[in-house]
Amino acid sequence: MNEANTADMARAQLAEYRASIDNIDAALIHMLAERFRCTKAVGVLKARHGLPPADPGREQTQIARLRRLADEANLDPDFAEKFLNFIIHEVIRHHEAIASEAETRT
């Protein structure tokens, strides 16, 4: 095989990998959107019943669970924890906003 054919094959394989990555990225966005729809409902429920926006015990349980899942999936558990912490902080921020909004209505 000559270098031109090898380069063409590499470009074709690269395009296939990138198409898969694009599909996975789209799925991640849709899953995150669904997750935030659920956590919004949790925030409304917490605000309605005067519960705190954050639940440190639940958060620690989730972090430990996702670290185990990451390890089983051969994904860096530290990365998984950082990713989950980012999501948790965003959820808490949303819950605080929902609670604040509920307080101004009462």
> What spatial distance separates the first Cα and last Cα of the chain, rounded to whole Å?
75
Domains and CATH numbers, the chain: 3-105 (1.20.59.10)
Instruction: Tell me whether residue 34 is exposed, middle or buried, using C-beta atoms within 10 angstroms of its C-beta: 0 to 12, 13 to 18, 19 or more.
Output: exposed
Confidence (pLDDT) at 106: 67
pTM of the model: 0.82
Residue 104 has pLDDT above 90, yes or no: no
Residue 101 has pLDDT above 90, yes or no: no
